[in-house]
Amino acid sequence: MRIKVTLSYDGTNYYGYQHQPGKITVQDTFEEKLSVILKEHTKTVASGRTDGHVHALGQVLHFDTSIKMKEANWMRALNSLLPDDIRVKNVEFVSDDFHARFSVVKKEYRYYITLGEYDLFKNNYSAYYEKLDVSKMKDATKYFLGTHDFTSYSRYVDKKPTIRTIYKAEIVEKEDGLEIIFIGNGFLKYMVRIMVGTLIDVGLGKKSATDVLKILDAKDRTKASKTASPNGLFLYKVYYKEGE
């Protein structure tokens, strides 16, 4: 039996989602608690990794088991064992051909920036800037839309496909800052954070909106801005085909 789990977590205290020897990760923590229920260690498969200190509202994973419990009981059992900064939001029985990673059709990331007065209580969940030119940043987002080679906006891409499609790139103004939304068919390592870092430089007047496109065309990581802080990044939702 294959079980699909939707997971949220506060990434502050974790070195990312995926297992890393000698470091505390979300995957290792989840699998440790799952093994208590299953009485043996069971590997899980996630939709993808998140970087150290990045958060998730809708990470998805699956695992296989012969143990039969109602979906609600699985969720209750897991949440009773997991630490307070990891929470199961949903448990669903799925067909054996569902794959948390390979069945993904879209992913949505959101990045949060606090503007104005510094709020130390938001430090782990947003980046902070006193002032940004939001109008120029909004203008710049349109250049990310469509299918491009994102070599300039990624790291460690040697011999890996770098073509990605961005379906949505939007900046929403909030009372206390900005919410930057990206939806795409996939994202390279650090890609969202490098795109955000470049948008921030546009907002600071260090780059122009059209520089976003020039950087894409350059296919050179050194042309883009520095990687934005992980604190403000959330894996918001993972999309699958209807019925999955």
- Domain of residue 153, CATH code: 3.30.70.660
My answer on whether 179 and 232 are in the same domain is: yes
Q: Which of 10, 28, 51, 97 is catalytic?
A: 51
Q: Is the pLDDT assigned to residue 93 strictly greater than 70?
A: yes
- For the chain, what percent of residues have pLDDT higher than 90? 95
- Identify the DSSP state of 242: T
Contact, 241 vs 97, CB < 8 A?
Answer: no
Q: Is the pLDDT assigned to residue 101 strictly greater than 80?
A: yes
Q: What is the maximum span of the chain, computed from C-alpha positions, in angstroms? A: 58
Contacts with 41 (C-beta within 8 Å, 6 or more apart), sequence order: 31, 35
Contact, 36 vs 120, CB < 8 A?
Answer: no
> How confident is the model at residue 91, as a pLDDT?
98
My answer on whether 204 and 138 are in the same domain is: yes
Contact, 227 vs 190, CB < 8 A?
Answer: yes
* Cβ neighbours around 187 below 10 Å, total: 20
> How confident is the model at residue 155, as a pLDDT?
86
Kindly report, residue by residue over 151-199, the tens digit of the pLDDT. Answer: 999 987 667 899 999 999 999 999 999 999 999 999 999 999 999 999 9
Q: Is residue 100 part of a domain?
A: no
**Number of domain units in the chain:** 2
Which of 72, 94, 116 is the last residue before a domain boundary? 94
Q: Is residue 224 part of a domain?
A: yes
Name the band, by pLDDT with cuts 50, 70 and 90, for residue 137.
very high
Question: Distance (Å, rounded) from C-alpha 80 to C-alpha 6?
Answer: 16
Q: Is residue 99 part of a domain?
A: no
- Identify the DSSP state of 22: T
My answer on whether 176 and 137 are in the same domain is: yes
Element (H, E) at 74: helix 71-81
Q: What average pLDDT is seen over the chain?
A: 95
Contact, 230 vs 50, CB < 8 A?
Answer: no
> How confident is the model at residue 35, as a pLDDT?
96
Dig out the tokens for 216 from the structure: 């894409």
Q: Is the pLDDT assigned to residue 233 strictly greater than 80?
A: yes
SS3 61: strand
My answer on whether 31 and 81 are in the same domain is: yes
Kindly report, residue by residue over 1-20, the tens digit of the pLDDT. Answer: 999 999 999 999 999 999 99
Is 51 an active-site residue? Answer: yes
pLDDT (mean) for 210-214: 97
My answer on whether 179 and 63 are in the same domain is: no
Helix, strand, coil percent values for the chain (each to nearest 5): 30, 30, 40
What's the domain range around 72?
2-94
What residue type is assigned to position 227 of the chain?
T
